[in-house]
């Protein structure tokens, strides 16, 4: 998704792009760092409400005192592109001819994948998938810092967060740095599922970074490359960044 949003932002005058999955009410954005999660929500909610009121393809241009914007409305997605006065609408239209349908296809595939019988939170991410993500993260981290540090920091990070995310007490990390659900515990289904796993991942990588210069919190994309697209669609990376602030 980042690649698609980056292609849009490469258009002259564009400074930000916000894509909204209409079915799952999830946002994916490439915006300045000053746009925190509350600002993104304040923009996304009215756009999503507009999009859910109609399913027809629509393009709307906006003009403001300090710039302009273009909104693409599609059955699967709402895509808002913001720019300066010099944003080139013709060039933008050329890029979005491929970019907007690509975003819609990503959302459609994610919605189909989420129709399986797994326990999910409101983001559409399942416990099983997020546990798999932690193990992929740990496995790739082991290639850089070894199993001892990975095991140590996965356990320490989990133990530190158990009071905030109680479902983490149902997970254990073995001596090989592999996390799994303790037998007899059901997979968690609460609203804090995605944030809990994202926070665990962030604290784990941050702790590793304090122990060695071979890892940093910004390595999360590289360390989850195998499932990056699907993680991106759940909003995992946004939460990972938010809890790290």
Tens digit of each residue's pLDDT (9 = 90 or more) over 198-224: 999 999 999 999 999 999 888 898 899
Cα–Cα nearest to 73, from 94, 90, 59, 53: 59
| Three-class secondary structure of residue 149 per DSSP | helix
Cβ count within 10 A of residue 3: 9
pLDDT at 119: 44
Banded model confidence at residue 110, pLDDT cuts 50, 70, 90:
low
**Residue pair 200/236 in contact by the 8 Å Cβ criterion:** no
Kindly report the pTM of this predicted structure. Answer: 0.54
Higher-confidence residue of 39 and 196: namely 196
pLDDT digits (tens, 9 = 90+) for 131-172: 999 999 999 999 899 999 999 999 999 999 999 999 999 999
Q: What phi, psi does 179 have (nearest 5°)?
A: -95, 140
pLDDT at 71: 95
How far is residue 137's CA from residue 75's CA, in Å, rounded to a whole number?
34
- Sequence-separated (6 or more) residues with CB below 8 Å from residue 233: 1, 21, 26, 28, 106, 107, 110, 124
How far is residue 200's CA from residue 141's CA, in Å, rounded to a whole number?
14
């Amino acid at each position: 998704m980042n690649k698609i949003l980056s292609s849009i932002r490469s258009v002259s005058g564009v400074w930000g792009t916000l894509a909204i999955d209409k079915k799952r009410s999830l946002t994916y954005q490439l915006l300045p760092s000053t746009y925190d999660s509350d600002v993104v929500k304040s923009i996304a909610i009215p756009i999503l409400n507009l999009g859910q009121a109609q399913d027809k393809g629509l393009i709307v241009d906006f003009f403001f005192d300090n710039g302009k914007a273009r909104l693409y409305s599609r059955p699967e997605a709402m895509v808002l592109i913001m720019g300066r006065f010099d944003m080139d609408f013709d060039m933008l239209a050329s890029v979005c001819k491929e970019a907007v349908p690509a975003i819609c296809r990503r959302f459609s595939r994610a919605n189909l994948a989420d129709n399986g019988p797994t326990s999910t939170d409101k983001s559409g991410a399942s416990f099983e998938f997020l546990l798999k993500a932690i193990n992929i993260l740990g496995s790739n981290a082991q290639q850089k810092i070894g199993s001892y540090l990975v095991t140590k920091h996965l356990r320490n990070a989990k133990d530190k967060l158990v009071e905030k995310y109680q479902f983490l007490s149902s997970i254990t990390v073995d001596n090989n740095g592999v996390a799994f659900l303790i037998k007899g515990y059901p997979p968690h289904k609460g609203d804090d599922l995605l944030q809990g796993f994202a926070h665990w991942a962030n604290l784990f990588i941050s702790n590793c970074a304090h122990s060695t210069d071979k890892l940093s919190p910004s390595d999360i994309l590289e360390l989850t490359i195998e499932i990056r697209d699907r993680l991106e669609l759940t909003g995992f990376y946004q939460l990972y960044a938010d809890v790290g602030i």
